[in-house]
């Protein structure tokens, strides 16, 4: 019973921090909240959101997140095995270390980018629903997942659901390359990967997650901002494209803006992901995200 309660509390806390993390990334690009009404920090968010939007707002967009999870995992590992055959066929990890390392980077990055093609609209909807401000249904832009997908498609076409896709591919390649590449390479260089001490496996998993997250974080910031562009017309459009988004964030908000939400909120949001990394290698040989 205690273990079940602990698990439920962990899922509850991660979902809230995930919501807060998204808000820190996109509130500057939201047309529903004025500059002087933007959230100043974690405490400000936790206090104001239940009052202004209702407690259930913390779970806005969660359905899209749940739906995309399983196909994402299946596609990642299915494509990763295929790409491994392409990039690592005939490579000896002991005598060709750097080629083995590069092959793992390439296979992990290519697998992540390919799977993203299939699940991106769900990730897009998750972001837009989480950032949809309002306490009553009439105050919100979208009534739910289906409404979000339909309205954006009618407004901008299928292209609207893939806003920010280019920078997403760049970020996912970098993230997955580090995630799969470094993890698999580190485990592969151990004498007996399947019987590695749990502490060593845990340390590798934490290091891989942290490094991959830091390196790819600015790309995630830009892609979330670009997602907020869909459905806008004329003067409401903030960025003319991905490069313009990078430039304006750096110019108007400074370099630190690319890492908003990473300290505190971002680390809490990634807690669940880190806990999903396997330390028992008897059944799984790659990390799960």
Between CA 175 and CA 178 the distance in angstroms is 5
Q: Confidence class of residue 278 from pLDDT cuts 50, 70 and 90?
A: very low
Position with higher pLDDT, 153 vs 44: 153
Tell me if 160 is assigned to some domain.
yes
Between CA 160 and CA 164 the distance in angstroms is 9
Average pLDDT of the chain, as a whole number: 79
Tell me if 288 is assigned to some domain.
no
- The terminus-to-terminus CA distance of the chain in angstroms comes to 27
Nearest to 201 by CA among 93, 273, 282: 282
Neighbours of 122 (CB within 10 A): 22
pLDDT higher than threshold 60 for residue 276: no
Position with higher pLDDT, 150 vs 172: 150
Tell me if 126 is assigned to some domain.
yes
Residue 59: domain span: 2-275
Tell me if 225 is assigned to some domain.
yes
Looking at residue 263, its pLDDT comes to 63
Looking at residue 108, its pLDDT comes to 76
Tell me if 282 is assigned to some domain.
no
Give the pTM. 0.74
Tally the domains of the chain. 1
Between CA 114 and CA 86 the distance in angstroms is 15
Tell me if 285 is assigned to some domain.
no
Q: Which residues of 245-273 are buried (b: 16+ CB within 10 A; e: fewer)?
A: bbeebeeeeeeebbbbbbeebbebbbeeb
Tell me if 125 is assigned to some domain.
yes
Domain of residue 140, CATH code: 1.50.40.10
Over residues 187-192, the mean pLDDT reads 77
Tell me if 283 is assigned to some domain.
no
Nearest to 218 by CA among 249, 183, 186, 176: 249
């Amino acid at each position: 019973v205690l273990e079940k309660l602990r698990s439920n509390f962990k899922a509850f806390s991660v979902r809230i921090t995930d919501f807060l993390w998204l808000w820190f990334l996109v509130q500057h690009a939201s047309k529903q909240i004025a500059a002087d009404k933007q959230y100043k920090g974690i405490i400000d968010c936790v206090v104001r959101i239940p009052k202004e939007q209702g407690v259930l707002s913390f779970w806005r967009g969660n359905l899209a997140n749940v739906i995309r999870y399983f196909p994402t995992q299946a596609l990642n590992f299915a494509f990763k095995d295929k790409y491994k055959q392409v990039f690592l066929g005939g490579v000896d990890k002991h005598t060709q270390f750097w080629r083995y390392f590069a092959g793992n980077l390439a296979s992990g990055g290519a697998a992540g980018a390919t799977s993203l093609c299939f699940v991106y609209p769900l990730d897009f909807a998750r972001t837009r629903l989480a950032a949809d401000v309002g306490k009553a249904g009439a105050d919100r832009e979208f009534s739910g997942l289906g409404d979000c997908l339909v309205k954006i498609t009618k407004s901008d076409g299928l292209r609207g659901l893939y806003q920010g896709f280019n920078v997403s591919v760049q970020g996912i390649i970098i993230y997955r390359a580090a995630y799969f590449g470094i993890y698999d390479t580190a485990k592969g260089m151990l004498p007996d990967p399947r019987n590695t001490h749990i502490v060593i496996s845990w340390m590798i998993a934490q290091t891989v997650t942290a490094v991959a997250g830091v390196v790819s974080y600015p790309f995630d910031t830009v892609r979330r901002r670009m997602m907020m562009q869909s459905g806008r017309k004329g003067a409401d459009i903030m960025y003319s494209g991905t490069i313009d988004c990078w430039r304006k964030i750096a110019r108007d908000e400074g370099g630190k803006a690319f890492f908003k939400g990473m300290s505190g909120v971002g680390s809490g949001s990634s807690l669940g992901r880190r806990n999903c990394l396997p330390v028992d290698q008897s059944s799984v040989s790659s990390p799960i995200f």
